[in-house]
Structure 1
Amino acid sequence: MFDLLDNQALVLNVDFVNTFIRCDAISIEALIGLVRSTIRWLNCDNINSTLSLSVQLPYQHVSIQVIIADVKTIGALRIGLYG
């Protein structure tokens, strides 16, 4: 039944609500097995104090780490997955 999901491309959406963090302060790492690699986002926008970024996941079973190289407050975090 879940064989249809094996070929499905998944996109992770992360929104940092009420923040002044910019896109250039964000880096994303993926942990695939024992290998850690840096991946680039598809879209990143900071509109009305909400930083929204989208990342295409390379595999279904992957750990994602979002690294913020800035010290600014974040009012809320919204995470979604679609594909």
Structure 2
Amino acid sequence: GDVDRRRFVQRLLEEFERYRNDLEAVVPAWRDLALTVGQRVRVDRPSGAVVGEAVDVTESGALVVETDDGRVTVAAGDCEHLRPV
């Protein structure tokens, strides 16, 4: 059916306000909704590519990738989901 735009925007603003007032709840919610966590990824960074499984999101919002050489925290880069091997 049709979406009531006024109601949608009101609800969106209410949720935004809730998270703005409780910033500690943002990262756990992000973790729960992040489609990347649990996926094999390749993150291209200026310092080189990181390939592995995305396993977490840090409190600052960086992606944690488990590689063959250990965990790497990626704060910025182009992230691509890879097909399972």
When normalised by structure 2's length, the TM-score is: 0.32
Larger Rg: 2
Is the helix fraction higher in 1 or 2? Answer: 2
Q: Whose relative contact order is higher, 1 or 2, with alpha carbons under 8 Å and at least 6 apart? A: 1
When normalised by structure 1's length, the TM-score is: 0.32
Is the strand fraction higher in 1 or 2? Answer: 1
